[in-house]
Structure formats: structure tokens, C-alpha cells
Amino acid sequence: MTTLTGKRVLVTAGAGGIGRAITTAFAAAGAKVFACDIDEPALLRLQAEVPGVAISVCDIADRASVERMVAEAAAALGGLDVLINNAGIAGPVASVADVDPDAWETVLRVNLTGTFMVTQRAIPHLKQSGLGTILVMSSLAGRFGYPDRSPYATTKWGLIGFTKTLSRELGPSGIRVNAILPGAVEGPRIQQVLAGRAAASGRSVLEEEAAALANQSIKRFVDPAEIAALAVFLASDAGRSISGQMIPIDGDSQSAS
């Protein structure tokens, strides 16, 4: 197992889904982990099940909440070595012509501006580390157009530009910055999506799953633990020469749909 003994790690949206898998994997690798999330009950369950993890309730879309949370994380951990920008929302399903402008702005505020605010506050602490790492959670939708998901795709493409810019700005300070681009991830969310598609189409859930996997070379959804393992590798010394990269983990998907 890759070890990160003593590394001080902040994970946003760290109490559920991919974030929980990341929090658990870093803790198992010996890191000191601070997880924030908007879901307090999920945070409390995480803390009970993963001893040693520090937690904080945080709304990534709220600047004051972010400022408080990053300060709490740095104080609790004694600094920061790794920032995992995992927080994000899916947003509405609608064509560009029909998207509610308020819904559009909400997605941008969480996915783009929230990531910016957390990162900006974390940078001084990461610079003190000397060997800092930032990981940004983009998406398959950050590589392809995604019909009826324009707010989500726009933010995930925007995070690519953010990652590239950060890697250039922070490299001289010894900070590496990379983006992870998951495809469809196994779990309750994708099963709900498939059930909704089946109800609309009249096909079975299994038929909808086959259709969803048709554009992938590897015919299965991504396990959150695999994404977490990639994050651990990139934050470890094994990834010390990797920066400014967009790393898909999507079964070789050829489109977003």
C-alpha cells in the first residue's frame, strides 16, 4: 500500500460517495485527515466509523463558511500538505434553452467558485508545506459535451483550466496540481439515474445500464475506491513528477451521455 504517514489532508465533501472513499483511503494510508461536508449526520457517521478523522460542517458556496472551515482544518492538522477539491453538485437536467438561470448560477457557485475559494484559502498553508498537492475533481463531462447538462459540463471544463493555471502558478513553490476525471461511478446515484431512464423509456434498468456502458471499452461503472486509490497515488511521493495533468478514470469512455 502507498503510505502517506503524517500527511495533513483536507477533503471537501468528504462524508459521502467519492469523498468518503477518498477520506477513508487517505486515513488508511496513514494521513491525518480533515473532512468537511454540508451533511452533518453523514460527517458524524464518518467520524464514528473512521477514527481520527476531524470534521467540519461547511457550505462550499458560502465564503464565510469556507474561510472558517479552512482555518479550522489548518489548526486541527497543524498545517496542510494535501487539498482534495471534491465538492460539487450535479445541477439541473435541461437543454440550454430551458435551464433556469438561478439553477445555472447555483452550479457555478458551488463547483467553480467554491473550489476557487477553498483553494485560495489553502494556498498559504500548502506553500508552507514545501511539497503540497492539490487534486481537483473534474469529470468525464470535462472532456466531452454533455447534452442537457450544460451547467455541470461547463463547470467541469472550467476546473480543467483552473487546474492548468494553478499548476503553472504553484509549481515554483513545490506544489503539484492535477485533475481527476471520473466517468459514471457505481453507487445509489447512478442506480437512481438508470431507474429514471427506465421509467421514461419503458426499458428495463439492465437495458438502460447496457446502453450507458455502450460507449465504454470496460463494461462496468467506476468503483469509488478506485478513484480514491488514484488520489492517494497522486498525493504520494510516487506522483512527485506529475503535475498539470487531466487523468480520466472512466473505463475508456468515448462520450458523456
Q: Copy the grid coordinates of residue 235.
A: 498525493
What is the maximal distance between C-alpha atoms in the chain? Answer: 57
What is the DSSP code string of 167-235? HHHHGGGT-EEEEEEE-SBSSHHHHHHHHHHHHHHS--HHHHHHHHHTTBSS-SPBPHHHHHHHHHHHH
Q: Is 146 an active-site residue?
A: no
Spot the catalytic one: 26, 34, 152, 157.
152
How far is C-alpha 119 from the chain's CA centre? 13
Bridge partners, residue 32, by sequence:
8
Number of H helices, E strands in the chain: 9, 7
HSE-CB of 138 using CA atoms within 13 angstroms: 29
What distance in Å separates the CA atoms of residue 58 and residue 201, rounded to the nearest whole number? 38
Residue 253 to residue 183: CA distance in whole angstroms: 7
Residues noted as catalytic: 152
